Amino acid sequence: MQHFLLRALLPAILSLSALVQAASPGVVRFATSTVKPWGYLDSESREQGLLVSFARELSAEAGVPYRNYLQPYPRVIHSLKSGFVDFAVLFDSPLARQAGIRVGSVVMTEVMVVGAGKQEPLNSIENLAGMRVGYIRGSKYGAAFDNAAHFERVPINAMHQGVAMVIQGRLDAMASADQTLYHALTAMAVKPGQISRLLTLSQTSGGLYMSRTSSHRDLLPVYKEALGRMESSGALASIFYHPSVLFTAGQLNNAPLDGDSSNTDLQQRNN
């Protein structure tokens, strides 16, 4: 009798299971670049960083469970393009638009060059002639910087290393995205006057992108709306523009924008 009832109920159980699975979007996957302060593991191997916090808060706002993967930036792009992950924040560029569907804006950044002490801003990238200028290894700051022959580009593994070398006089200047620089200055407790902004190379935005081959394409409007709510509520600003970072930014001299921001393809690999 029990066997007969089980056989009778089995189709209903399977049907209910299918309905539950259909109603549940499952776990979506994010990829986050392993560049401080965007994404990194702390001393206890816990994920930390601006984009780690962003993925967590966005997923909570969307009401969808998620899993995050920390990867070097080129790998993030590949993972999104291949469909290994569903979402990633990329610096807006033709390469990013090839890799995924842009959901919306997340953060604005500037690419700048800084020097030691109190210095007057430079008028143009041409004024870097003869200098040794550090940059985060694997980064791309636009053709004007990447292809320049009038100064020496020195690859550096970590922002705090570059800042220290500038202060010590081992580098004449250091190029960086603003958030990366500000967090390094804050962590190192660099005092006002030790570092000055010499030149702003370009401005670029970071956007949330969804893989074109994602199996969760139906969730695109859900994340678009969740991102919009985070912007309206100030949640995005609270993640990316912490008061201590804004204070650090205010310590630097303003510098004129040099070059066309549309040519920027900011790709940071590791820190």
pLDDT at 158: 86
CA-angle at 117, arms to 113 and 122, nearest 5°: 40
Contact (CB, 8 A) for 114 and 198: yes
- pLDDT computed for residue 250 by the predictor: 59
What's the pLDDT at 110?
Answer: 86
Closest CA to 257 of 152, 110, 156, 80: 110
Full-model pTM? 0.72
- Round to whole Å and give the CA distance between 164 and 152: 18
pLDDT at 193: 83
pLDDT in tens, the chain (271 residues): 444 444 544 444 433 333 333 334 489 999 999 888 899 999 999 999 999 999 999 999 999 999 999 998 889 999 999 999 999 999 888 888 999 999 999 998 888 999 998 888 999 999 999 999 999 887 778 889 989 999 999 999 888 999 999 999 999 999 998 888 888 888 888 887 888 999 999 888 899 999 999 999 999 999 999 999 999 999 998 998 765 555 455 566 554 445 443 333 334 433 3
Residue 149 CB-density burial (10 A; 0-12 exposed, 13-18 middle, 19+ buried): exposed
What's the rounded Cα separation, in Å, for the pair 129 and 142?
Answer: 17
Predicted confidence at residue 41, as pLDDT, reads: 92
Task: Give the per-residue pLDDT at 249.
Answer: 57
| Cα dihedral 118→124→130→131 (10° resolution) | 40
